[in-house]
Amino acid sequence: MKILLVDDDRELVDLLAFTLRRAGLTPLAAYDGPGALEGFEKEHPDLVVLDINLGGWDGLELLKEIRHRGQTPVILLTGRHTEDDKVHGLEQGADDYLTKPFSHRELLARIRARLRTRGQGWSAGRPTSQRLAVGPLELNTAEHTATKNGQPLNLTVTEFRLLHYLMTNAGSVVPTSALLKQVWGYDDPSGTDVVRVTVHRLRRKLEDDPAHPRLLHTIPGVGVILKSSPDSIVPSAEPISL
């Protein structure tokens, strides 16, 4: 598995590369935007670890470029501590994030979780067929495709996995902790922002009017429900949009 490390701190990249090699992964190094895009196009990495602050380059702009080129999982590294910066990165399509300083063990665990969930051999709850249909939504795990009313949905790997898990449990409220564990592959209470923003991203792709959702609802303080039909009743009080 090839991991593209993008950070203008060369010592940190060298240290992370050493850690990844010991774990049996193949690290690729880039220290700026042009080098990252060149390495991405040439090597087709399985995952990108991207620093949000690249000196003269904006890591979020680089993230946009990577997203234009495909759905390769991206983990953001950031030294910024405000929630807005993290949320903005997730809004741009990142799959996960870590705030500096972080342990190498934690980064490696996040990388392994993302690599596991990227494949099509993962399990997301009770066994299902290769095809799922819920209301206007259809999902094919063998072809890794999702449609709404027959029209293709352009989903990231994480969004696809999230939709699969919600469709598998359609009509039931799925706790946020269960989503974090089953979709992202780890159990960390601080990861609720990742769930919240990814659900928000998915809602924008599923709903005709995301401000007034008919399919994907958040139950405050509980979790998320994908309604089995647009006209079915949502449990609890009227949910709020993320």
CA distance 200 to 29: 32
Beta strands in 69-153 (DSSP E): 74-78, 96-99, 131-134, 137-140, 145-148, 151-152
Which sign, positive or negative, has the C-alpha torsion 145, 149, 154, 158?
Answer: negative
pLDDT in tens, 25-49: 999 999 999 999 999 999 999 999 9
Q: Is 217's pLDDT higher than 60? A: yes
Residues 52-79 have a mean pLDDT of 87
Over residues 63-74, the mean pLDDT reads 90
Which segments of the chain belong to CATH 1.10.10.10?
Answer: 131-226
Residue intervals of the chain classified under CATH 3.40.50.2300 are 2-118
Task: Tell me what pLDDT residue 133 has.
Answer: 94
According to CATH, the topology of domain 131-226 is Arc Repressor Mutant, subunit A (1.10.10)
pLDDT at 137: 96
What 8-state DSSP symbol labels residue 238? Answer: P
End-to-end CA distance of the chain: 34
2-118: CATH topology is Rossmann fold (3.40.50)
For the stretch 150-159, pLDDT in tens is: 999 999 889 9
Instruction: Specify the pLDDT at position 238.
Output: 39
Mean pLDDT for 66-80 is: 87
Average pLDDT, the chain: 85
Answer yes or no: are the C-beta atoms of 125 and 181 closer than 8 Å.
no
| pLDDT one-digit tens code per residue, 88-125 | 888 888 999 888 888 899 999 999 988 887 653 333 44
Can you list the positions of beta strands (E) in 123-212? Answer: 131-134, 137-140, 145-148, 151-152, 174-175
